[in-house]
Amino acid sequence: MSMLKRRKGSETKKASNSEPQTDKDYETREKERDEKQKKSKQEDYENNKKRNLKKWSCVDSCCWFIGCICSIWWFLLFLYNAMPASFPQYVTEAITGPLPDPPGVKLHKEGLKANHPVVFVPGIVTGGLELWEGHQCAEGLFRKRLWGGTFGEVYKRPLCWVEHMSLDNETGLDPSGVRIRPVSGLVAADYFAAGYFVWAVLIANLARIGYEEKNMYMAAYDWRISFQNTEVRDQTLSRMKSNIELMVATSGGRKVVIIPHSMGVLYFLHFMKWVEAPAPMGGGGGSDWCAKHIKAVMNIGGPFLGVPKAVTGLFSAEAKDIAVARAIAPGVLDMDVFGFQTLQHVMRMIRTWDSTMSMVPKGGDTIWGGLDWSPEEDYECNTKKIKSNDTQTVSQNGKGSSGNAKHANYGRIISFGKDVAEVHSSKIERMDFRGAVKGSNLANTTCRDVWTEYDDMGVGGINAIADYKVYTAGSILDLLHFVAPKMMKRGSAHFSYGIADNLDDKKYEHYKYWSNPLETKLPNAPNMEIFSMYGVGIPTERAYVYKLSPAAGCYIPFQIDTSAEGGLESTCLKGGVLSVDGDETVPVLSAGFMGAKGWRGKTRFNPSGIRTYIREYNHAPPANLLEGRGTQSGAHVDIMGNFALIEDIIRVAAGATGDDLGGDQVYSDIFKWSEKINLRL
Amino acid sequence: LFRKRLWGGSFTEIFKRFGWPLCWLEHLSLHNETGLDPPGIRVRAVSGLVAADYFAPGYFVWAVLIQNLARIGYEGKNMYMAAYDWRLSFQNTEIRDQALSRLKSKIELMYVTNGSKKVVVVPHSMGVIYFLHFLKWVESPPPMGGGGGPGWCAKHIKAIMNIGPAFLGVPKAVSGMLSAEARDIAVIRAVAPGFLDSKFLRLQTLEHVMRVSRTWDSIVSLMPKGGETIWGNLDWSPEEEHDCDSAKKRYLQCSLSEKNTNHSNEKRGFQAKERMKYGRIISFGKAASELPSSQLPTLGSKELLRTSTSSNSDASCGEVWTEYDEMSRESIQKVAENKAYTARTLIDLLRFVAPKMMQRAEAHFSHGIAENLDDPKYAHYKYWSNPLETKLPEAPDMEIYCLYGVGIPTERSYVYKLSPSDRCNSIPFQIDTSADGSDGGGCLKGGVYFVDGDESVPVLSAGFMCAKGWRGRTRFNPSGIATYIREYQHKPPASLLEGRGVESGAHVDIMGNVALIEDVLRVAAGATGAELGGDRIYSDIIKMSERINIRL
């Protein structure tokens, strides 16, 4: 625009210059005047132009900029929509070479057909929860997912969200006026959040060989409440029983294959006892229900004996992830973000969830090790890396290094201070905390509405806990009873963590023992098969080094000591966390012990001799970013996309037995460790 | 697109795959011979409450009802959406998906887990017929039925609250099958004549729609049932006294005491003008729809033989295939010469124009009236969904409700014409949108005769069984199950802000009608029909049913 105007201006100038020629005097005068006028005009014009230019540069360029961005955005969107669906795959193939067939396609080519109906039992956290009734603040969220999906509500109204997700502190059921229920159907847990698959890959592959909604069933349950309460409140167990019966009936008497994941494994253990127990407490299915209806149980990443992570979650609401975050940005989590204390709220919420207590380590010192002993003690963290490349050297390495390296004391699940975690037990001075008086109330008004049971504990109590120094799996229960009495009171009515001396004792008919594999017998179903499938090759939390947090009124008084690092020779201790082999969440010991020893052959836990198989999957991280979460992952949730695992499942669903799969497939030292555990079978 | 919705939701796939709407249609259509999936394609019903709460974003179906039930304490464990593949015939849903077994097991489970409280079933539209089928299926012995034993319904079901029931079928289904158009499409065609007939996006829209919908067996279940006895013959129909003007008047001024205006208007209409010949569901040309029957050419439909099978289709018609191509021009002409079809002859007509579909469908559905209900042939499943050929189960404590909207003009019969003989335009018939009634009787509009109803289902079809067929102890209802009619007068939403209105009587929008929801909630909470106030009638349904001469 400015260019055009300038040119015009110069033209007019020329034209006026060549205009009059008659009277010279007049002309010159005229000319002078003209020139003056012109000058002033030109100045005016220049000024105007400058002003215009300024305006133009400010507003117009802004508009242009926005316009450009918008049109580019639209164009990209258009391109994206016009892109054929196979394009990303095409790019991936161009870069990495042709992908292997997904197992569903491969096995379909081999001629496998849908045979046995399949039941999925999702684990903790991965199942969606939706709102059926809420308080004022949750207006308009009817039948929207509060858990799973985008978690949009967490950001929009965090306090409201926490309030709705919490359960009643006394009963472990819904608080009054709130009803949150599990989402039902396959959508309940196929994707946890958008793009983050849980069951979706498995479902898609099963569909390839002919499965559909009528022979797949997602046994979604409310994973926050204790197992028996899901039946009391929602009749989830009855529902599952009826669905399994229906699927067996409609598919011509073919038994079902159960695929529980994570906590679902414990839930299904509970179910198997429940369904055969007589009516008022159980499902009244009769003692041969499992034998008649179940072909195989394929446990994926099952925390049979609990996970140490659950302890820290209950104790200080932090696991490795949070501890790392705290180390990096010390202020953030402790600050009053958005005017509320994040961790405290999270802890208060988690402590109302009974189900987390089902994952507290079970079996006490016998399984998890005492002060100076633990089954995994000769595990060598350095060798782990070598091992993942070459599995055959494991045993040699283990032997060779056991002489030199100090044993990591995995048995001490919680210890206060790094030195305590390492010295021999005789050198530790311990004060018994059990008698300690819960002194004056720490809470004051500045803590606002945040309520954790720590507030009820005096400084004396807290110090007493720290003075006890070291906690093993056995004493951790006492610790939890001490710091969270209400929760444990509720929990101990629903769960038990011991080892049974005499399984025929009448008391083991109570439902609180049903989810503990060390206190129940497997059902009488000699043709059933139990698979323990889990990933290995990822460092997994096993024990923690704690410290007292700086004494400030409102805070959780303990936190993981992220400064505790192991020496050069043993890298097992990192950021206050001692890790062993596992799938990032569940240690190998917990996932594999029952299959490797506890139930192997005819034992007192497995009176009918149900065959057990261990299938381990070595973790291989995705080769490049395009692969997403990898097809050979061994991580706790990502393993659901592991092709080898999916193939195994499909084969079993299509009718194969454990022996057809090739029996055990072991990469870790699970058999050696299990042997070290001295448990009467 | 694995486990994505092909039907329902935002329907984006039709638009997104703009190159391949054909692909979408191909996946939705069923196999032409078996009525099951074509090889290599499995489209399955969505399950759970999400299956039908919203049809498309923002267009509720069950959502409002579910939300209100949740307010009084219902949740996932005591609500169940019996989703089925509505494209299949009813018995095929059991054969392919075991949908009926599933429904049975779910009802039994809910009965047990809720402390032996009977269930209330709320079917809508075609679901009503589906549930009738279920009632018979569940008590029949195993190979064909569910083997629940004769007391199953009495034990498990408290009440059936049929919303907008299409017990006796809907005339819309006929026009849908004959020429893939209902009033909506006919209006579009009138407004933009070239639009639908042109090869829009290189595909012949209507032909494709027709081809797909003809593979859906379930549509046949919606054909008018009961023949001329119910729907009227050439000269007679139960609704003949219906006065469209008065209907309109009534519909505007509901506050007037209904009975009075009704009566006076009807009398006036009686004398002033000719009665509408609703019995002729399809007539060719406006004149044929009004003439007395003696002047109609009586060409027996049996004579409609396929005289010459010289195929009309040639290569230029592309891959579009409808059965019309196989019919010669002459036979189409003959169809049109027959002028008027009643509910009985219609079936012959359809057999003629769509032989494959009818052959398939007649193995699954029947449209007659039973002479003797104890005849063993009625044990076959094809009779189960026809209320006029089955007995209700032995369950004297059960209650049956007919809840439907009234006060909206509803399609009842059609005036057809031959479409200009264009080679590829392979549907030879279309609704004659130029046929409008005179000022006196506004029932004929744009080629369609209207009666009272809920926009899709005429009152006759929705209410007859409750008003007469099952009322008291009849041969269709041997145990004397109590029936109640609850009509809901249509009121359009007062303002745009109200959305689809809380007092609507339209076929789908009625699911948001507060009065209906209140009735459903009360019954679910334990009320009986008498406590609701018994019948609640605005239309002439009782009078109409009296005129129907059926042995009870």
Q: Which range, of A5-19, A312-326, A331-345, averages the lowest pLDDT? A: A5-19
CA atoms within 13 A on the CB side of A362: 28
Tokens of B370: 């039973």
Q: What predicted TM-score, i.e. pTM, was given to this entire model? A: 0.79
pLDDT tens figures, A437-466: 544 444 444 444 444 556 566 666 777 777
Interchain proximity B112–A238, CB inside 8 Å: yes
Mean pLDDT of B136-152: 84
The fraction of chain A above a pLDDT of 90, given in percent, is: 9
- Nearest CA of chain A to the CA of B205: how many Å? 23
State the ipTM, two decimals.
0.75
> For residues A333 and A324, what is the distance between their CA atoms, to the nearest angstrom?
11
Give the end-to-end CA distance of chain B in Å, rounded to a whole number: 52
- Nearest CA of chain A to the CA of B35: how many Å? 19
Q: What is the pLDDT of residue B305?
A: 42
Q: Which range, of A265-269, A644-648, B173-177, averages the lowest pLDDT? A: B173-177
pLDDT tens figures, B17-39: 444 556 666 676 777 667 677 77
E strand or H helix that includes residue B340 = strand B340-341
Q: Which of A226, A476, A232, A193 is nearest to A362 (CA)?
A: A476
- Nearest CA of chain A to the CA of B25: how many Å? 18
Say which residue, A93 or A372, is predicted with more confidence. Answer: A372
Say which residue, B434 or A62, is predicted with more confidence. Answer: A62
Assign A550 a pLDDT band (cuts: 50, 70, 90): low
Q: Does A283 touch chain B (CB under 8 A)?
A: no
Q: What is the pLDDT of residue A463?
A: 75
Q: What is the pLDDT of residue B242?
A: 65
| A-B contacts at Cβ under 8 angstroms | 69
Residues with Cβ < 8 Å from B321, sequence gap 6 or more? B211, B313
CA angle A580–A584–A586, rounded 5-degree value: 75
Q: If contacts are CB pairs under 8 Å, which of residues 57-86 in chain B contact chain A? A: 66-67, 70-71, 75-77
Catalytic residue among A334, A354, A583, A638: A583
- Chain A neighbors of B108, CB-CB under 8 A: 242
Q: What is the pLDDT of residue A152?
A: 67
Q: What is the pLDDT of residue A179?
A: 86
Interchain proximity A238–B109, CB inside 8 Å: yes
Q: What is the pLDDT of residue B24?
A: 66
Q: Which of A184, A186, A213 sits opposite B76 (nearest CB)?
A: A184
E strand or H helix that includes residue A131 = strand A129-133
Interchain proximity B48–A239, CB inside 8 Å: no
- Chain B neighbors of A213, CB-CB under 8 A: 44-45, 47, 97
Interchain proximity A133–B70, CB inside 8 Å: yes
Interchain proximity B70–A143, CB inside 8 Å: yes
Q: Which of B1, B42, B48 sits opposite A212 (nearest CB)?
A: B42
> For residues A652 and A665, what is the distance between their CA atoms, to the nearest angstrom?
15
Tokens of A238: 């009855």
As a three-state string, the secondary structure of A245-261 is HHHHHHCCCCCEEEEEE
The answer to whether the CB of A119 falls within 8 A of the CB of A245 is no
Radius of gyration of chain B (CA): 23
- Chain B neighbors of A187, CB-CB under 8 A: 48, 50
Q: Which of A181, A185, A250 sits opposite B47 (nearest CB)?
A: A185
DSSP annotation string for A256-307 = EEEEEBTHHHHHHHHHHHHHHS-TTTS----TTHHHHHEEEEEEES--TT--
Q: What is the pLDDT of residue A72?
A: 92
Mean pLDDT of A177-191: 82
Interchain proximity A246–B49, CB inside 8 Å: no
- Nearest CA of chain A to the CA of B13: how many Å? 11
> For residues B462 and B161, what is the distance between their CA atoms, to the nearest angstrom?
12
User: Pairing relation of β-strands B340-341 and B119-121?
Assistant: unpaired
> For residues B253 and B410, what is the distance between their CA atoms, to the nearest angstrom?
19
Active-site residue, A636 included: yes
Answer yes or no: is pLDDT of A173 > 60.
yes
> For residues A305 and A488, what is the distance between their CA atoms, to the nearest angstrom?
18
Residue of chain A with shortest Cα separation from B108: A242
Answer yes or no: is pLDDT of A216 > 80.
yes
Residue of chain B with shortest Cα separation from A84: B17
**How many separate helices (H) and strands (E) can be counted in chain B?**
22, 12
Please tell me whether residue B409 adopts helix, strand or coil conformation.
strand
Q: What is the pLDDT of residue A570?
A: 54
In DSSP terms, B453 is beta-bridged to: B408, B458
- Nearest CA of chain A to the CA of B231: how many Å? 40
Strands (E), A500-658: 529-536, 538-548, 558-560, 573-574, 577-582, 611-618
- Nearest CA of chain A to the CA of B150: how many Å? 21
Say which residue, A71 or B278, is predicted with more confidence. Answer: A71
> For residues B145 and B100, what is the distance between their CA atoms, to the nearest angstrom?
9
SS3 of chain B: helix, strand, coil, percent, to 5: 40, 10, 45
Q: What is the pLDDT of residue B350?
A: 77
> For residues A162 and A166, what is the distance between their CA atoms, to the nearest angstrom?
6
Residue of chain A with shortest Cα separation from B3: A204
pLDDT tens figures, B41-60: 777 777 777 767 776 666 77
pLDDT tens figures, B254-288: 333 344 444 444 433 333 345 566 777 777 777 66
* Top mean-pLDDT range of A43-47, A587-591, B355-359: A587-591
Answer yes or no: is pLDDT of B195 > 60.
no
Q: Does B109 touch chain A (CB under 8 A)?
A: yes
> For residues A478 and A176, what is the distance between their CA atoms, to the nearest angstrom?
31
The answer to whether the CB of B164 falls within 8 A of the CB of B404 is yes
Please state at what angle helix B343-353 crosses helix B355-362, rounded to 10 degrees: 120
User: Pairing relation of β-strands B119-121 and B157-163?
Assistant: parallel
Greatest alpha-carbon pair distance for chain A in Å reads 134
Answer yes or no: is pLDDT of A554 > 90.
no
Q: Does A86 touch chain B (CB under 8 A)?
A: no
CATH code 3.40.190.10 for A105-327+507-538+582-676? no
Q: Which range, of A3-7, A428-432, B184-188, B306-310, averages the lowest pLDDT? A: B306-310
Interchain proximity A250–B75, CB inside 8 Å: no
> For residues A470 and A127, what is the distance between their CA atoms, to the nearest angstrom?
35
Q: Which of A428, A381, A368 is nearest to A407 (CA)?
A: A381
Place of tokens 């008291």: B472
Tokens of B50: 């999400």
pLDDT tens figures, A227-284: 888 888 888 898 899 889 989 988 888 999 999 988 889 999 999 999 988 888 888 8
Answer yes or no: is pLDDT of B119 > 80.
yes
Q: What is the pLDDT of residue A297?
A: 92
- Chain A neighbors of B77, CB-CB under 8 A: 181, 234-235, 239
Radius of gyration of chain A (CA): 34
pLDDT tens figures, A511-532: 888 888 888 889 888 889 999 9
Residues with Cβ < 8 Å from B28, sequence gap 6 or more? B6, B7, B43, B87, B212
Interchain proximity A81–B48, CB inside 8 Å: no
Q: What is the pLDDT of residue B18?
A: 43
Q: What is the pLDDT of residue A268?
A: 92
Q: Which range, of A7-16, A40-49, B512-521, averages the lowest pLDDT? A: A7-16
Residues with Cβ < 8 Å from A602, sequence gap 6 or more? A608, A609
Q: Which range, of A39-43, A140-144, A390-394, B547-551, averages the lowest pLDDT? A: A390-394
Q: Which of B70, B77, B108 sits opposite A142 (nearest CB)?
A: B70
Mean pLDDT of A487-503: 84
**Environment class of A330 (CB within 10 Å of its CB; exposed 0-12, middle 13-18, buried 19+):** exposed
Answer yes or no: is pLDDT of B307 > 50.
no
Q: If contacts are CB pairs under 8 Å, which of residues 104-143 in chain A contact chain B? A: 132-133, 142-143
> For residues A590 and A410, what is the distance between their CA atoms, to the nearest angstrom?
13
The amino acid present at B414, given as its one-letter code, is: Y
* Top mean-pLDDT range of A364-368, A541-545, B186-190, B522-526: B522-526
The answer to whether the CB of A276 falls within 8 A of the CB of A315 is no
- Nearest CA of chain B to the CA of A514: how many Å? 22
Interchain proximity A245–B105, CB inside 8 Å: yes
Assign B96 a pLDDT band (cuts: 50, 70, 90): confident
Q: Does A92 touch chain B (CB under 8 A)?
A: no
Q: What is the pLDDT of residue B257?
A: 39
Q: Does A204 touch chain B (CB under 8 A)?
A: yes
Q: What is the pLDDT of residue A403?
A: 37
The answer to whether the CB of B30 falls within 8 A of the CB of B215 is yes
> In angstroms, what CA-CA distances link B26 with A230, B29, B278?
43, 5, 37
Answer yes or no: is pLDDT of B506 > 50.
yes
Q: What is the pLDDT of residue A585?
A: 84
DSSP annotation string for B65-94 = HHHHHHHTT--TTT-------TTS-HHHHH
The answer to whether the CB of A609 falls within 8 A of the CB of A527 is no
Exposed e or buried b per residue across B251-274, where buried means at least 16 C-beta atoms within 10 angstroms of its C-beta: beeeeeeeeeebeebeeebeeeee
Tokens of A361: 């380590």
Please tell me whether residue B550 adopts helix, strand or coil conformation.
coil
Average pLDDT, chain B: 73
Mean pLDDT of A543-556: 69
- Chain B neighbors of A238, CB-CB under 8 A: 109, 112-113
CB atoms within 10 A of CB B248: 14
- Chain A neighbors of B106, CB-CB under 8 A: 242
Greatest alpha-carbon pair distance for chain B in Å reads 67
The amino acid present at A565, given as its one-letter code, is: E
Average pLDDT, chain A: 76
Answer yes or no: is pLDDT of A499 > 70.
yes
> For residues A387 and A392, what is the distance between their CA atoms, to the nearest angstrom?
8
CA atoms within 13 A on the CB side of B270: 7
Say which residue, B529 or B300, is predicted with more confidence. Answer: B529
- Chain B neighbors of A186, CB-CB under 8 A: 3, 47
Interchain proximity B98–A214, CB inside 8 Å: yes
- Nearest CA of chain A to the CA of B401: how many Å? 28
Q: Which of A133, A179, A184 sits opposite B48 (nearest CB)?
A: A184
Interchain proximity B67–A187, CB inside 8 Å: no
Answer yes or no: is pLDDT of B210 > 70.
no
CA angle A540–A638–A563, rounded 5-degree value: 30
Interchain proximity A143–B66, CB inside 8 Å: yes
> For residues A431 and A118, what is the distance between their CA atoms, to the nearest angstrom?
53
Assign B395 a pLDDT band (cuts: 50, 70, 90): confident
Q: What is the pLDDT of residue B463?
A: 86
Catalytic residues of B: 125, 454, 507
> In angstroms, what CA-CA distances link B343 with A637, B28, B223?
61, 29, 9
